[in-house]
Structure 1
């Protein structure tokens, strides 16, 4: 009987690998928008940034980590802008492919002359173009909250990479 119970518990715990979305987050966000961009003098240089205005966030209660969006998982970077704190996820079409994570053959060399190695890793969420999921750390546990209704702005064209970096 104990063996049957242990077997049943191990099967149930193996099925629990699906990420659970929280209904309420310990932080408040503003209107999330995405900004596609292109560099004119390098037409292959395109990207997509997601801006998440932070209305309130107590870092003692939660630490923002990653954004799952458009088949990618990207680290969030929090910046102070004129409008307040904003979490930004920078998706670069040159570095990512849908559902894939790219790692270089030698991690000590950035890109160098080494070809990238694709490691396929499906994301744990089914999302539409206007949905994303934020992962955050709360009391040493990773939690997830959905963002719905991401506004997608028209493509911004920068003449050179320097112009994009100065924005």
Structure 2
């Protein structure tokens, strides 16, 4: 009686643990990208992902990990195929005052969030949904532009 229960428990635990660790990088890009780049701003940096071709009915670009931070991707209002992620590094001008009410409006730096995969400083992890499944793709060769 104990042996079947023990065996069933082991099988159940192995199934449950394998579901949670199913993160793997996709080798095929979810879309055709032009050169990915970033630029420094007063309050942080912006990562730009220009998309040449994407199957919008099957693929949805959601977020990105870059330089120890995580941010949602938004479609640029002026450029229809440009996705932008904004990261607040907190390097902009700060108002320091003895009255804390005067400091209202200071932006806090973005909390660090570790990427699910090891990446270099010129790489980012793109998080996207394809057919309702979350997938990951590594973007490489990201350069700074002004």
Q: Do they superpose with TM above 0.5?
A: yes
Q: 1:121 to 1:3 in 2, by over 3 A?
A: farther
Residues 17-166 of structure 1: matches in 2 within 5 Å?
Answer: 17=21, 19-38=23-42, 46-79=43-76, 81=78, 85-94=81-90, 122-153=114-145
Unmatched segments (≥5 aa) in structure 2: 92-103
Q: 1:34 to 1:19 in 2, by over 3 A?
A: same
Conserved? CA contact 1:18–1:124, under 8 Å:
no
Q: 1:141 to 1:127 in 2, by over 3 A?
A: same
Alpha-carbon deviations, 1:64-118, whole Å to 9, x = none?
0001111111000112545x511111111129xxxxxxxxxxxxxxxx69xx8x9
Q: Provide the rounded CA distance (Å) in 1 between the counterparts of 2:34 and 2:70.
A: 21
Q: Provide the rounded CA distance (Å) in 1 between the counterparts of 2:54 and 2:112.
A: 33
Moved more, 61-70 or 120-129: 120-129
Q: Residue 10 of structure 1 corresponds to which residue in structure 2? A: 13
Q: Provide the rounded CA distance (Å) in 1 between the counterparts of 2:46 and 2:114.
A: 21
Q: Which structure has the greater CA radius of gyration?
A: 2
What displacement does 1:14 show?
2.2
RMSD (Å) for aligned C-alpha atoms: 2.9
Aligned length: 128
Q: Provide the rounded CA distance (Å) in 2 between the counterparts of 1:121 and 1:131.
A: 15
What displacement does 1:25 show?
2.6
What displacement does 1:55 show?
0.5
What displacement does 1:145 show?
0.6
Structure (1/2) with the larger strand percentage: 1
What displacement does 1:12 show?
5.7
The two structures have a TM-score, normalised by structure 1, of 0.64
Q: Provide the rounded CA distance (Å) in 1 between the counterparts of 2:131 and 2:36.
A: 26
Alpha-carbon deviations, 1:125-150, whole Å to 9, x = none?
21110010111111111111110110
Q: 1:60 to 1:35 in 2, by over 3 A?
A: same
